[in-house]
Amino acid sequence: MVESKRLKFFRYKQPQLRVDKYKCLHESLINGDVDATRLGKRIILPITFIRGPRHMMNNCKDAFAIYVYTIEFQKRGLPHAHILLFMSNEFKPQTPGDIDKHITAEISDENEMPNLHGAVQNYMVHGPCDPYNKNLPCMKNGSCSKFHTKEFRQQILIDKAGFSKYKRANNGRTVTKKECVLDNKFIVPYNPKFLLKFGCHINIEYTCQTSSIKYLFKYVHKGNDRVTTTLYNTGDSLEATQVVDETRNYYDCRYISACEAIWHLFG
């Protein structure tokens, strides 16, 4: 309700907000509005509206120069953080061995490190999906969209896209989850110190290519969750006279859990 009041303010205060600079041919073409009869008939959601598309795009550009994080709320309403860190040269991993010191995708020895072994079993196991369960949300077209299970690998490898393929030795170590005995192929990359300190799922990845960095920034500022809908063109002759209302486009289909609502109200 608070957010709807803010959107109503932007809808009825368009002249005072100086939004004329947005109502140009260039931006209309970018947004896909190629029908000239609709140009200029637009209610603008300016960059000053937090979490709006222009605010997100502006943040995405600014974020290239800073450290940045975002809080995301899953469909169950549970918040989690996405954090992007730039390492200074003295701490930046220079070799595959340096990455191995910070990130591992293997099960620890149960006898030597029982606490870490238990934490990995509780928090850092993917699925299990294929071949144990083909009905999990990660399964798309008969395979895991998160590319599990992984392959055994004796040493870390950085692919051409800048993504790390971590060491996963076939050492016989296993964990049990949902009555399934799983090996290193199912382990999500993690940092042992962080995992023991916070006792929750903390996926840590290393990237060194601009393409993957760009992907991370787009993900950090991807915007709000929305419910699944289907949009189609009815061919109505009145379509040409309809106003493109960016405030309504933002508000419609928006998914907000109670947890996220409290987060924003207190923020």
Q: Are residues 185 and 250 located together in one domain of the fold? A: no
Q: What is the pLDDT of residues 48-92, one digit of tens each?
A: 777 777 777 777 667 767 777 777 777 666 788 878 788 888 888
Q: Are residues 100 and 201 located together in one domain of the fold? A: yes
Reported confidence tier of residue 143, pLDDT bands at 50, 70, 90: confident
User: Which of the two residues, 130 and 165, has the higher pLDDT score?
Assistant: 165
How confident is the model over 123-136, as a mean pLDDT?
87
Long-range contacts of 29-36 (CB under 8 A, 24+ apart): 33/244, 35/240
Structure confidence at residue 163 (pLDDT): 75
Q: How many domains does the chain have?
A: 2
Reported confidence tier of residue 25, pLDDT bands at 50, 70, 90: very low
Domain that holds residue 185: 94-205
Q: Are residues 103 and 188 located together in one domain of the fold? A: yes
11 has a pLDDT exceeding 50? yes
| 227 lies in some domain | yes
Residue 43's alpha-carbon distances to 9, 51, 57, 104, in angstroms, are 12, 17, 18, 50
Tokens linked to 64: 């290239």
Q: Are residues 99 and 150 located together in one domain of the fold? A: yes
CA 27 to chain centre: 26
Q: What is the pLDDT of residues 185-212, one digit of tens each?
A: 999 999 999 999 999 999 998 877 666 5
Shortest CA distance to 229 belongs to which of 201, 257, 249?
249
| Contacts for 62 with CB less than 8 Å, ≥ 6 apart | none
101 has a pLDDT exceeding 50? yes
Structure confidence at residue 185 (pLDDT): 92
| 52 lies in some domain | no
pTM: 0.68
Tokens linked to 227: 């419910």
| 66 lies in some domain | no
Q: Are residues 253 and 193 located together in one domain of the fold? A: no
Q: Are residues 124 and 194 located together in one domain of the fold? A: yes
Reported confidence tier of residue 144, pLDDT bands at 50, 70, 90: confident
Q: Classify burial at 103, counting beta carbons within 10 Å of its beta carbon; exposed 0-12, middle 13-18, buried 19 or more.
A: buried
| 86 lies in some domain | no
* DSSP code string of the chain: -HHHHHHHHHHHTTTTTTGGGGSSHHHHHHTT---GGGTT-EE---TTSTTSHHHHHHHHHHGGGS-EEEEEE-TT--EEEEEE-PPPTTTS--SHHHHHHH-B-SPPPTTT-HHHHHHHHHHSB----TTT-TTSTTEETTEETT-PSPPPBSS-EE-TTSBEE--B------EEETTEEE-GGGBPPB-HHHHHHH-S------B-SHHHHHHHHHHHT----B----------GGGGG--EEHHHHHHTTB---HHHHHHHHH-
| 75 lies in some domain | no
Q: Are residues 198 and 111 located together in one domain of the fold? A: yes
Structure confidence at residue 37 (pLDDT): 52
How confident is the model over 214-243, as a mean pLDDT?
58
Structure confidence at residue 149 (pLDDT): 83
135 has a pLDDT exceeding 70? yes
| 30 lies in some domain | yes
How confident is the model over 207-234, as a mean pLDDT?
62
Q: Are residues 198 and 235 located together in one domain of the fold? A: no
**Mean pLDDT in the chain?**
78
How confident is the model over 17-43, as a mean pLDDT?
56
| 80 lies in some domain | no
The HSE-up count of residue 54 (CA atoms within 13 Å, CB side) is 13
Q: Are residues 200 and 112 located together in one domain of the fold? A: yes
Reported confidence tier of residue 34, pLDDT bands at 50, 70, 90: low
Percent of the chain with pLDDT over 70: 71
Dihedral of the CA atoms 58, 3, 261, 59 (nearest 10)? 0
112 has a pLDDT exceeding 90? yes
